[in-house]
Amino acid sequence: MESSTDEEGDRFEAFVRHYLDLNRDLPVILDAVDIDPFIHRSIETYRGMRILNQEVWECLASFILSQNNNVPRIKGMIRTISARFGEKIALDDSIDYAFPTPRALAEAGVETLYDCGLGYRAPYMWAVSSAVAAGEFDLEALKHMPYTDAKQELMGLKGIGEKVADCICLFSLGHVQALPIDVWVKRIIERIYLKREASIREIREFAEDYFGEYLGYAQQYLFHYARTVGLEDLLTSEG
């Protein structure tokens, strides 16, 4: 019979494996999408990179804050609302704060969220927090939905469009066929593959057909290479 310590250890291991996406067969995924010189260079450079399965509420709220924003400002907003509305966490002499719950943000009110520097995102954050806190939007049910259903549910929330919904599906719900299309992904597909400007719909249709069921992993490797090393460097892969 397992002791409580063993059970806690098993739960922690299961959590870590899920969070780091270790239960998915990465070599199989990479073999499936390694279909041209561009993605091949990206994979060889960053082989082993996985897509995290982040906690749903924190992921959803963070991507609301990410809209028309840069990473330092996003981090600053998250730090501010966590310090004001999150639970204090102390370890020895270190103090930090947990990400605030939906109820804490809902009770804070729109004006207080404006005061935290959220800008036009404040009413979106308050509306979504209120819906989750009131049980009008079920995060647990979202985890068990197919990709298309989960995406449509998310897009029904105020302030969440297709790109943010796809981000949540890919980085929290484990839907590795999701394709968040931002300016970088659009630029990559247009310049490397289509050789022309294209609509979001054209980019999505091409990418889904070209990369298949592991599209989310393919775009993440291409995206990371283009942002880290450079798109121009990636374009030389063809030669």
What single-letter amino acid sits at 232? E
Rounded to 5°, the CA angle 63-66-70 comes to 150
Alpha carbon distance 2, 118 (integer Å): 47
Contacts of 88 (CB under 8 A, 6+ apart): 95, 96, 97
Count the helix, strand and coil residues of the chain and give each as a percent rounded to the nearest 5: 65, 5, 30
Alpha carbon distance 131, 157 (integer Å): 9
First to last CA, the chain: 61
Question: Among 237, 238, 185, 182, which Cα is nearest to 211's?
Answer: 185
Is 163 a known active-site residue? yes
Q: 75, 158, 163, 195: which is the annotated catalytic residue?
A: 163
Please report which helix (H) or strand (E) contains residue 97, including its range: strand 94-97
- Residue pointed to by tokens 């996406």: 21
Alpha carbon distance 91, 196 (integer Å): 54
Question: Count H helices, E strands: the chain?
Answer: 15, 2
The answer to whether 58 and 167 are in contact (CB under 8 A) is no
Catalytic residue set:
163
